[in-house]
Structure 1
Amino acid sequence: MSSTPTPSTPSTHVKTRFLILSDTHSSEPSQNTNNDAPYRSPLPKADVLLHCGDLTMLGHFDEYERTLNMLESIDAELKLVIAGNHDISLDETYYKRMGRHMQGKRFDADMPRGAREMWMGERARKAGVTYLEEGRYTFKLGNGARLGVWASPYQPEFCDYAFPYQRNEDRYNPPHQCSPGATPIAENPVPDWQENEGIDVIMTHGPPMGILDAVQNGEHVGCEHLLRAVRRCRPRLHCFGHIHEGWGAQRVEWAEGEQLDVKPEEHFKGADAMEVDRQRMEDGRAAFVDISHGGDNAIAFGRETLMVNASIMSVTYKPVQGPWLVDMDLEKAPVN
């Protein structure tokens, strides 16, 4: 990891709006008729929609169809989606092992193939959805911006659901930067800042350790290897879900220096919670934060990252938590 980078010049950027969802579990905004529920139709228009997984409760075709209907109804030029641990039929390895146990009479050995075709085929294209498997991607937006994304549906093993890895396995860092004592298993490691070629957003299903990851008993269940990787990469935005109780947003300032073999809490200097105007969220159908240059919560790209847990469901699986609407700067795309 190189020394602390210098933030880039705002004049080279394009302000871009992101609508962020996670853990919708086949619920649709139209189900909420109570005006106090921010997750209700129509959701705000955005340049980019990000859905961080748990599209369904258990990976059935009818659940995927409902979620695609919901995503199709949202006004966004680019819609990026990853799976989560509940989307079990999108994890073929897991489904072969546990699908019959999880789905009982509705088990179908061909479901992983059909689910993949649904999310990567004509039905997803009709909804305007781009389904992301683990890895890095680059997109050119209609507003002239370039968007770099690194995505992954995996998270530490959780109640034996899909896309798991063990806590002693490091899925995000290459062997020479692997967490001490962990087994390196990264197939698509998160790149360093100086190698990231403009990764603006990291999308994962699970949170990093110590950031918006506390469950009801106060235990932090995020991934320390992911935290280490996000610090190395330093994106503008890291969005996730998985832990419903963790809904919220924080601006994290990264620790200076190159030392990685530290305690999780020593990777960052501090994390400031983004205040939410409840009435504005209800009226606008989303919690809003502006991290662009000149915004109320502008970040210093390369020194700070906005962390967002966008779980729509409460811990009791009620779709009462708001999406996040984030304005941020992206670099202009190169002119061909």
Structure 2
Amino acid sequence: MASTAGIKTRICMISDTHTTSPYSPSEKEHAYRNPLPEADILLHSGDLTKVGYRTEHEETISMLKAAPAELKLVIAGNHDITLDEEYFLCTGYKKHRKTAYFGAKNIPLHKDEQTRLEAIKGGTIPPPPELLSYIRDIKDLYTNESARAAGIRYLDEGIHTFTLTSGAKFTVYASPYQPEFCNWAFAYHRNEDRFNLPAPGSTAPIPANPVPDFPSIDIMITHGPPAGVLDRVGDDRNKLEHVGCESLMRAAGRARPRLYLFGHIHEGWGAGSKEGGSASVSVKQERIPVDEKDMLEKQGVYLDISSEGERPLAFGDETLFVNASIVDIYYRPVHAPWVVDLDLPRG
């Protein structure tokens, strides 16, 4: 739908599904159930799997293909170890010793995966060519003709531009990376800034894929959260701690996107806004209120921040931040997708 502010576009957001399929339509006590909310765009901000086995990726691909959206943008997360080629070949393959999480059933494996797992447990290092072929076949699941025909686009770190059949044209900055955490994939040292150019005269290295300045991008998708927003770990019994990335927060302040999606911190599920269009402005800590009954009935939390909504987003002055982690800290799929209507530029 066209408006003076752009083209109203519906975006469904999920993250951290960890190979958990949506519940059946009859299980109405769960918001995360089939079919996923219909949208123009589906965004998934990583942790597609628990530990990156091909069988897990195949299940996730099936879920993505079935999702009712024209375009489905996907990034990896730290658990998707087979999508981080350098990491997996170096040390990540050792993570394949783990096939269950928090009492869940063991991940069903293909015969070659089971054979490799037994060899790794026995102390054998798989031949690099064998590992390379394996992980490239996995990435092909997201990039082959079948995936593209279903609207799936796998995003490596950097800038990507898309045009919908509605005529909306928008630009995304994507990154699967987050500060190092328990030796998982797509990690960087917390004191490394891979998102902002160094100050003039600085000897700091220039990042390969920095986030551009406003108004270059409309949407940011990263696996890890920026510092200070929906990034707290712990609970009421333990000390709450912010674990988001300061560099990402500075980059978001420069870029001022309309929407910023992330996950990684399961406890942080929710949405909030940042006003002022500057990295120095603090993010509102309170989550946007959620109507539980409405969420269960509609299978998601719906927000209309388009020009037709009651509270339109002021592009350049506000960013909507969403942590769309579907699972909780026990890997149970208890959270709902977020569904947002907002205006995107005309192509």
TM-score normalized by the length of structure 2: 0.85
> Which residue of structure 2 lines up, in the alignment, with residue 28 of structure 1?
21
1: CA distance between counterparts of 2:243 and 2:171?
Answer: 27
Report the AA paired with residue 207 of structure 1: P
Residue of structure 2 aligned with 1:155, choices 175, 178, 182: 178
Residue identity over aligned pairs, in percent, reads 49
CA change 1:12–1:295 in 2 (3 A) is closer
| Contact 1:290–1:297, Cα closer than 8 Å, also in 2 | yes
Report the 3-state secondary structure (helix = DSSP H, G, I; strand = E; otherwise coil) of the residue aligned with 2:251. helix
- Alpha-carbon distance between aligned partners in 1 of 2:283 and 2:186, rounded to the nearest angstrom: 31
Q: Please, which of 13, 16, 19 is the counterpart of residue 9 of structure 2?
A: 16
Q: Which runs of 5+ in 1 are unaligned?
A: 1-9, 261-265
Look up the equivalent residue of 2:257 and give its one-letter code: P
Check the 8 A contact 1:253/1:271 in 2, yes or no.
Answer: no
In the alignment, residue 99 of structure 1 is paired with which amino acid? Answer: G
How many Å apart are 1:168 and its aligned residue? 0.7
- Matched residue SS, 2:295: helix
Q: Give per-residue Cα distances to partners, 1:171-207, cap 9 Å, x unaligned.
A: 10012389x9x9545211000115x1xx110000000
Shift of 1:33: 5.2
Match of 1:325 among 321, 324, 339: 339
Aligned to 1:310: 324
Gaps of at least 5 residues in structure 2 are 98-115, 118-125
- What CA distance in whole angstroms lies between the structure 1 residues aligned with 2:19 and 2:150? 15
Distance 1:331 1:143 in 2: 11
Q: CA 1:269/1:306 → structure 2, altered by over 3 Å: closer, same or farther?
A: closer
Rg bigger for which structure? 2
1:289/1:297 contact within 8 Å kept? no
The corresponding residue for 1:225 is 247
Equivalent positions of 1:1-336 (< 5 A) are 11-30=4-23, 34-104=27-97, 105-106=116-117, 109=131, 110-176=133-199, 183-184=204-205, 186-194=207-215, 196=216, 199-216=217-234, 217-254=239-276, 266-268=280-282, 270=284, 273-333=287-347
With over 3 angstroms needed to count, the CA separation of the structure-2 counterparts of 1:214 and 1:183, relative to structure 1, is farther
What count of residue pairs does the alignment treat as equivalent?
Answer: 312
SS in 1 for 2:62: helix
1:119-163 deviations in Å (ceiling 9; x for gaps): 111342243211000111111111111111110100000111000
* 1:85 maps to amino acid: N
* Equivalent pair of 1:72/1:126 in contact (CA under 8 Å): no
- Whole-Å separation in 2 of the counterparts to 1:167 and 1:16: 35
Q: TM-score, normalised by structure 1?
A: 0.87
Note closer, same or farther for the CA distance 1:269–1:222 as it changes in structure 2 (3 Å cut): closer
- Aligned-pair CA distance for 1:241: 0.4
| DSSP-derived class of the 1:229 partner | helix
Q: Secondary structure at the match of 1:176?
A: coil
Select between 149-158 and 116-125 the one with higher mean Cα deviation.
116-125
| Amino acid across the alignment from 1:170 | D
